[in-house]
Amino acid sequence: MRNHIIPSSLKERPNYIEQIRPYIKKNLIKVISGQRRVGKSYLLFQLMKLIQSSEETANIIYINMEDLQFDFIKNATDLNEYILSQLKSDEHNYIFIDEIQDIIDFEKALRSLLLDEKNDLYITGSNAKMLSGELATFLSGRYIEFNVYSLSYPEFLSFHQLKDNDQSLAHYFKYGGLPYLINLPLNDQAFEYLKSVYSTIIFRDVVSRYSLRNSLFLEKLVLFLADSIGSLFSAKRISDFLKSQQTNLAPHQIQLYNSYLTSAFIIHEAGRYDIIGKKIFESGSKFYFENTGLRNAIIGYKPNDLGKILENVVYNHLLFLGYQVKVGTMNTQEIDFVCERNGEIVYVQVALRLENQNTIDREFGNLLAIPDNYPKLVVTNDQFDGNTQQGIRHLYIRDFLMLEAIV
């Protein structure tokens, strides 16, 4: 590997490194997935640096499919032949492949390379459906996946060398947590960068990959989702609206386009969960943006959107903490987030402000009606010095975002 591939200065993300560290030298493919530009490549560099710190002469093979020098690798055969030419038979080989989804039938090469226990494989990808589908089919039980997200609020503060205050929080809400923003002023210049990232994702990871003809509708759908954060998604309602605008698109096509956006990690889906019946509904999901900065860059950042962005940021932090997050329903009541991790559950309500008794009764009352003793909390944009209300914690958003765990 060329020595200058690893940047001299790396902003570390120890949360992910500590997740992956136990699997180094294990005969499993380490799959690092996430939206483009969330820092997957730099995570690979950190892993290379970690390996070299304990094994100075480690044989590291690095392939970046966005680098023109690897343009000759088109398919599994090309990939396998190149890596075989770089292997050292008498020692461990650390193989890193960045943006592997651009290689046709890549999973066949991985399966072959995995036969040699001296090969330690790490791959990144920006397509959830392709990675999970192909790897599950060909390498069931032989890989482990790590989801990488935009910077959490504490990471954002560290990267930008900011103090934890309301101005920093406002910047985080407005511009989001793409790591490259540390190289730009947090102003309109940042939005221009975010727009270019959005265009790359839309046209490379969605329109081109799925050979979509109706890219105009796709962009309209993204705008609709950006304006509908926190609302239940109905493909039929969107289809009916489009008919009124002289545009015919069947509900199943809308669902399909939505799945493409989810696969490219532009949005995340939170399915609807019946708390009493303990079942997931087939319809009525909510969708949240992987990065609020991208959302704001394409639809604009308006003061009356703060409630939507607040809910989106809370959802993203729950993902960062490792929770599986669903939207809860209980009879006629709604719980914003039902979060599960390692068999433990947390319930979270989100409100911009607890400005009157009706809001307080609704947010706390819905949680009090849940017939179990799992932790429950309400997150708001109100600064609050109190304790709990009947055992339910009330957290100011900045305090919530600094949590490393919910107990």
Residue 29 bridge partners (DSSP): 143
Tell me the whole-structure pTM to 2 decimals: 0.95
> What's the CA gap between 406 and 346, in Å, rounded?
8
Residue 46 sits at φ, ψ, to 5 deg, of -65, -40
367 vs 361: CA distance, rounded Å? 10
pLDDT of residue 200: 96
Question: Cβ distance 46 to 11 under 8 Å?
Answer: no
Q: What's residue 385's pLDDT?
A: 63
Catalogue all structural domains in the chain, each as residue range(s) with its CATH number: 3-147 (3.40.50.300), 153-401 (no CATH)
C-alpha closest to that of 330 among 394, 389, 272, 282: 272
Q: Which of 137, 145, 76 is nearest to 108 (CA)?
A: 76
| Helical spans, DSSP H, in 264-340 | 292-299, 306-320
The reported pLDDT for the residue numbered 1 is 46
Bridge partners of residue 329, in order along the sequence: 274, 334
Output the six-digit token pair for 180.
């490259």
Angle at which helix 306-320 crosses helix 292-299, to 10 degrees, equals: 150
Interatomic CA distance for residues 35 and 227, integer angstroms: 20
Return d(Cα 130, Cα 255) in angstroms, integer: 17
Query: Using an 8 Å Cβ cutoff, are 338 and 326 in contact?
Result: yes
Q: Which residues of the chain have pLDDT under 50?
A: 1-4
Kindly write down the DSSP assignment for every residue of 35-85, as one continuous string.
STTSSHHHHHHHHHHHHHHH-TT-EEEEEETTSGGGTT--BHHHHHHHHHH
Largest Cα separation within the chain, whole Å, is 71
Dihedral Cα 108, 114, 120, 123, nearest 10 deg: 20
